[in-house]
Chain A
Amino acid sequence: MAVVKMRLYRGDSNGGAEKEYEVPLEEGMVVLDAIHFIQANYDGDLAVRWNCKAAKCGSCSAEINGMPKLTCKTRLDTLPLDKPVTVYPIKTFPIIKDLVTDVSWNYKVRKTIPPFTPAKDTKWVMYQEDVERGQEFRKCIECFLCQDVCHILRNHDKKNEFIGPRMLIKIAELEMHPLDTLDRKEFLRDQAGIGYCNITKCCTEVCPEHIHITDNAIIPLKERVADTYFDPLQWLLEKFKGSPKQ
């Protein structure tokens, strides 16, 4: 039986190192299977977070051969196996142990987003074409791979200035909601720091739900911010016609 060499990061906030393991390759095996094999047969104290093993809970994010991916969705037969497969925790968030990181920052900033605000006398009728756009964004499984890969958070550590791509699709979902009445453009520009994004599209590249994060959320939001803050013609038009949002 073919054997795969796996190199897993073992350590915690005090430091650590790669450790190599050999795992018998089975047909259809994913990286998480190999990690489970290691846990069951070599190191029972290996820390890894997972729940659904169906690419839907978003817990098993890691960096496989340097790329942010879900370990439960990455088949070993899609990787070059002539060299050991490396698995590291996601780099952008503080490590707890081995492959497990503390992603709580994401839940904290998410709470700062002004919530869905319907009008007091809303009639709860919506048409499909009006809610369709937001449906794409609701596919998000909060794996935070996009937050991990985004260079603004990953390399420049701008967690106080930039809210990250996952949060921007959340804002897009609210802003484009047909029954929402709140205007989040100032929030987008100031607290969310949308200007930091240079649309280099790594978030879209790694999203396991294939959400068009940049094309359908971030760029349309940048355009909305431009309407209010960078376009004198639109600004005049809004003054003249009145903005539909508060």
Chain B
Amino acid sequence: MANGTAQNAVTLRRDTWWAAPLITAVVLGSFGIYSTWRALSNADFLVEPYLSPFYSPYILASWWPFSPALLILWAPLGFRATCYYYRKAYYRSFFLAPPACAVRPLAKEGSYAGESKLPFILQNIHRYFFYAAGVVLFFLWVDAFKALKFEDGLGVGVGTLVLFANAALLSLYSLSCHSFRHLIGGNLDVFSKCPTRFMLWGKASALNEHHMLWAWVSLFGVALADLYVFLLARGVITDVRLI
């Protein structure tokens, strides 16, 4: 490149540009480790009437020798892995491609193909993971309602609220998805002919503006909901019955 040598350094930025990718790497990495451990453990996920979201829907199949979580987790994990927001997050924090703006990427100059070739070209099927994660989300709502049914009849415990909050946050995350925003109306060029889809697109767009926020709070939500059930199962805490 024709410019001065100093500009060929890693960066001329002097602010703490490395902080954001570092924090993202630590938090996403921790979630990865926690969720892998919980999904493989195949234990401590059911304390009636609460079912951990990692195991919902609970599938008991005799032909499946591994943890039942693995039968479903591919859907929400695939949804997050191909999510436009998380792509930015992990391309920056794990692939350093680039780690921050105007900072030199890790990959050798010119060696980059982005999402134009395998494997990252597969990000284009994000919408199919949206559909699959939608099915799982439906069961999370079902399980939240099941958490109202105690042995002595209907009621509400802290766990019930936890599961409802989890389903609600995941719904906000899903409905703010870029693919959903496209499919619900963004693919139109003439909105005036489809007022309903225009209205829905407007709502999806409003949620989409905060997609990053929903991505993070729903991630914490699902991990904390699982942790709640885990701690109940281990007897570390006891559920408080509110109603």
Contact = CB atoms under 8 A, between A and B. Distances in A.
Contacts of B191: 127, 129-130
Interface string A129-145: 11000000000000000
A244 B91 contact: no
Given A158-B110, A198-B87, A198-B115, A89 B3 contact: yes
Contact of A156 (B111, B183, B192, B208): B111
Interface stretch (A14-22, A27-35, A39-47, A114-122): A14-22
Interface in A179-218: 180, 193, 195-202, 205-206, 215
Contact of A196 (B111, B115, B198): B115
Contacts of A215: 178, 208-209
Contact of B88 (A127, A158, A177, A199): A199
A95 B3 contact: yes
B7 to A, nearest CB: 5
A67 B179 contact: no
Contact of A201 (B88, B121, B186): B88
A241 B115 CA distance: 29
A97 to B, nearest CB: 11
Interface in B80-131: 84, 87-88, 91-92, 97-98, 101-102, 104-105, 107, 109-117, 120-121, 124-128
Contact of A88 (B3, B97, B111): B3
Nearest to B208: A215
Nearest to A224: B187
B186 A202 contact: no
B115 A88 contact: no
Given A13-B2, A129-B191, A193-B116, A66 B12 contact: yes
Contacts of B234: none
A196 B117 CA distance: 9
Interface string A75-112: 00000100100101101101100000000000000000
Contacts of B240: none
Give the interface size class of chain B.
35 or more
B1 A18 contact: no
A24 interface: no
A120 B120 CA distance: 40
A74 interface: no
A80 B14 contact: yes
Contacts of B192: 127, 129-130, 178
Nearest to B178: A219
Given A66-B12, A129-B191, A91 B101 contact: no
A222 interface: yes
A171 interface: no
A226 interface: yes
A244 B189 contact: yes
Nearest to A68: B102
A166 to B, nearest CB: 15
B84 A198 contact: no
A83 to B, nearest CB: 7
A16 B8 CA distance: 13
Given A16-B4, A66-B14, A149 B87 contact: no
Contacts of A88: 3-4, 6-7, 12
A65 B116 contact: no
Contacts of A201: 88
Contact of B189 (A15, A89, A177, A195): A177
B42 interface: no
B116 A220 contact: no
A178 B124 CA distance: 26
A227 B183 CA distance: 9
Interface in B133-187: 178-179, 181-183, 186-187
A26 interface: no
9 contacts: A11-B4, A18-B6, A68-B101, A88-B6, A152-B112, A178-B190, A199-B84, A200-B98, A202-B101
Interface of A: 9, 11, 13, 15-18, 63, 65-68, 80, 83, 86, 88-89, 91-92, 94-95, 127, 129-130, 149, 151-152, 154-158, 161, 175-178, 180, 193, 195-202, 205-206, 215, 219-220, 222-227, 229-231, 244
Interface of B: 1-7, 11-15, 84, 87-88, 91-92, 97-98, 101-102, 104-105, 107, 109-117, 120-121, 124-128, 178-179, 181-183, 186-187, 189-192, 198, 208-209
